[in-house]
Amino acid sequence: MVRNKRLNAVISFILPGLGQILNGDEKRGIKFLIGMVVLHIVIYYALNNVVGSMISTLYHAYSAYDAYKTCEM
């Protein structure tokens, strides 16, 4: 498992949940992955505009923050 805070944050920003999984918290990572899929489906069908893009970016940023904060060195 990768235990580098910054690397896990970057990975989690790219694919929310993967950083949490690499931290060893599989349940939390899967929740973030499922949340990302649901969010992107909603954005695609209902909020396909700038607001949807901002919400998506905030979700990715929060996932990165969470991966950084929950990483145990």
* CA–CA separation, 59 and 31 (whole Å): 13
- The whole-model pTM stands at 0.88
- 12-29 pLDDT, tens digit per residue, is 999 999 999 999 899 999
DSSP 49: S
Would you list the DSSP string of 13-27? HHSTTHHHHHTT-HH
The continuous run of DSSP H or E covering 43 comes out as helix 26-45
Domains of the chain by residue range: 5-70
> What confidence tens digit (pLDDT) does each residue in 15-69 have?
999 999 999 899 999 999 999 999 999 998 888 888 888 999 999 999 999 999 9
